[in-house]
A and B are shown apart, each in its own frame.
Chain A
């Protein structure tokens, strides 16, 4: 395996007396595209929050880029599942993407030329260059999802974390986003939480089945039985056919 970017050792997270993650160990190397599947409440989002340093593990050890996750934030791009925001919030798409540069800027420093250039580039990458001046509340679900990806890309991350990036968009747009991720994985490591088992079989290099505990699989090895065991109900999977 390449250089190890994310290392979790025996990580448990207990929130309000409920075990969210238990004894979880995993290692993710540079250039991997890891898909995380599992039922709702299985701890997928919590796992991403642990890697981001937003959620401290109750026990166990987390290293990201060999450091405490909090220290590595500027090297990570994060695409949350939903943007919980007020549709009336006065902010343009361009301004939103610029906030992706925040982790690279010091407090009190203003955005410079380079920040604006990277923000423009990120908007172009996701195909939203024309909507820079549009108010965020006026974007469609698919545009919003791509905007969130652009925001993460603007920070030029080495590691990209995506939380169900296709949950609220139509199938055609899904393909666009997966094509985009296929391109991105050339230059960065990707961890993606998803429900979309079709996507898993197409893009990813490894799969983590998460239901409180984690099981790692090569995509070829994933069978219906394994997924069923994770989900505890029957799941259809599209068998991995190699990259299309």
Chain B
């Protein structure tokens, strides 16, 4: 009886357009998240991804100041910081974590500065920092879908190169693969994924969604492709479950999604420990 009520309730809330949009955003974001998150986890560049995500806040601030959709400020600015972090750590003699830290804070500073300069009060700033999947407008869905398509096409074209630079960068270089170019391309794809995920979980929590689903998927994957597919599925499960729970308990959706993912991560880690596999 209780079950039937739940199903009926789900059907009822699914009729709202904002809920439909939220579900669509969750599913679309999961595609980019699973594919790019897989690279983030196997290359261990989670901290770089966090840096790109936070630096991207500068783009949101500039977007506000100029009075355009903040996502339009976000895309160029996050690409710029991805390239900046990548070039600074690869070409200049700057330690990678220093480059990341500098961009991380400087980007946020730019954002705060421009939001302060913009006339009036910026009311939904909070939703960019912590995400609010329930406020994704339909126009943003098209942009997310376009970014997804772009990410899938690039990864399809560069799959074998991305695999070899992730697995054995020196060998890739010895094979004549343009490793620096491809690394920067990967960072740009991370930047675009950040743009996709900002609406869902917000800048501050992007890093969790980029790392937790692939980290779980790795336990069940023999190769990178399988890991990408599983990561996307896990990501979709976490976002939808988080969305549902945030509705039931009337809490912030972004935080709920991350907590669901973190809980699943803990369960898998503990289960792995007790099942005796390494």
Chain A contact residues, CB within 8 Å of chain B = 52-54, 70, 73-74, 76, 78, 80, 83-86, 88-92, 95-96, 98-100, 102-103, 105, 107-108, 110-111, 133, 135, 151, 155
Residue ID in chain B nearest A76 by CB atoms: B174
Work out how many contacts link A and B, with CB atoms closer than 8 A. 76
Bitwise interface map of B from 158 to 179 toward A, beta carbon under 8 Å scored 1, else 0? 1011011011101111111110
Check B227–A80 contact: CB distance below 8 A: no
Asked if B176 contacts A74 (CB within 8 A), the reply is yes
- In the complex the two chains form, is A110's CB within 8 Å of B167's CB? no
Report whether B176 and A91 are in contact in the complex, using a CB–CB cutoff of 8 Å: no
Judge whether B223 is part of the interface by a CB distance below 8 angstroms.
Answer: yes
Q: Which residues of A contact B221 (CB under 8 A)?
A: 90
Contact across chains for A89 and B42 when beta carbons are under 8 A apart: yes
Whole-angstrom distance between the Cβ of A158 and the nearest chain B Cβ: 15
Q: Is the CB of B163 within 8 A of A91?
A: yes
Instruction: Tell whether, in the assembled complex, residue B160 and residue A73 are in contact, meaning their CB atoms are under 8 Å apart.
Output: no
- Contact (Cβ within 8 A) B157 A108: yes
Cα–Cα, bound, A76→B168 (Å): 17
Measured CA separation A6–B106 after assembly (Å):
49
Please, how many angstroms separate the alpha-carbon atoms of A107 and B226 in the complex? 23
Is B176 touching A103 in the complex (CB atoms < 8 A)? Answer: yes
Q: Report if B218 contacts A (CB, 8 A).
A: yes
A108 with B171: in contact, given A73-B176, A90-B223, A91-B224 (CB under 8 Å)? Answer: no
In the assembled complex, B222 has its CB within 8 A of some CB on chain A: yes
Partner of A54, one of B164, B166, B173, B218: B173
Q: Lowest 9 CB-CB distances: which A-B pairs, in order? A: A103-B175, A102-B175, A73-B176, A90-B221, A99-B164, A108-B157, A78-B174, A52-B174, A90-B227
Residues of chain B touching chain A, judged by Cβ–Cβ distance below 8 Å, are 42, 44, 157-158, 160-161, 163-164, 166-168, 170-178, 218, 221-224, 226-227
Specify which chain B residues have a CB less than 8 angstroms from the CB of A76 in the assembled complex: 174
Q: Which residues of A contact B224 (CB under 8 A)?
A: 90-91
Chain A nearest CB, measured from B91 CB (Å) = 15
Asked, given contacts A70-B176, A90-B218, whether A99 binds B171 with beta carbons under 8 Å apart, the answer is yes
How many angstroms between the C-alpha atoms of A98 and B42 in the bound complex? 19
Name B42's closest neighbour in chain A (CB-CB): A89
How close is A227's CB to chain B, nearest CB, in angstroms? 29
Pick from B160, B166, B173: contact of A111, CB below 8 A. Answer: B160
Closest A residue to B228 by beta carbon equals A90
| Residues on B with beta carbons closer than 8 Å to the beta carbon of A155 | 175
Let me know if A95 and B161 touch, CB within 8 A: no
Chosen A-B contacts, 20 in total, with CB atoms closer than 8 Å, are A54-B174, A70-B176, A74-B176, A84-B168, A85-B168, A90-B42, A90-B222, A90-B226, A92-B222, A95-B163, A98-B160, A99-B163, A99-B172, A102-B161, A102-B175, A107-B158, A107-B161, A107-B178, A135-B222, A155-B175
Residues of A within 8 A of B218 (CB): 88, 90
The dominant DSSP class at the B interface is helix
* Shortest Cβ distance from residue A113 to the other chain B in the assembled complex, whole angstroms: 15
Do B171 and A105 touch across chains, with their CB atoms under 8 A apart? Answer: no
Specify which chain A residues have a CB less than 8 angstroms from the CB of B172 in the assembled complex.
99, 102
Minimum Cβ distance to chain B for residue A222 (Å): 30
Q: How far is the CA of A135 from the CA of B42 in the complex (A)?
A: 14
Tell me if B167 and A99 are in contact (CB < 8 A).
yes
Apart from A105-B160, A107-B178, list 10 A-B contacts with CB within 8 A.
A54-B173, A74-B176, A78-B174, A80-B170, A90-B226, A96-B167, A98-B160, A102-B161, A107-B158, A155-B175
Select the residue from B44, B158, B175, B223 with max chain A CB neighbours within 10 A: B175
**Max chain A C-beta neighbours (<10 A), residue from B163, B173, B174:** B174
> A36 vs B46: C-alpha distance in the bound complex, in angstroms?
40
Interfacial chain B residues near A90, Cβ < 8 Å: 42, 218, 221-224, 226-227
Is the CB–CB distance between B177 and A86 below 8 Å? no
Inter-chain contact A85/B167, CB cutoff 8 Å: yes
Bound CA–CA A110/B174 (angstroms): 19
CB distance B175 to A108 under 8 Å?
Answer: no
Q: How far is the CB of A73 from chain B (nearest CB, A)?
A: 4
With a CB–CB cut-off of 8 A, which chain A residues contact B168? 83-85, 99
- Give every chain B residue within 8 A of A133 (Cβ-Cβ): 222
- A95 and B223 contacting across the interface, CB-CB below 8 Å: yes
Q: Which residues of A contact B226 (CB under 8 A)?
A: 90
* Chain B residue with the shortest CB-CB distance to A94: B223
The minimal Cβ–Cβ distance linking A202 to chain B, given in whole angstroms, is 28
Given A86-B42, A96-B167, A108-B158, are A91 and B223 neighbors across the interface (CB < 8 Å)?
yes
Q: Which residues of B contact A98 (CB under 8 A)?
A: 160
| In the complex, chain A residues whose CB is within 8 Å of the CB of B176 | 70, 73-74, 102-103
CB-defined contacts of B178 to chain A, threshold 8 Å:
107
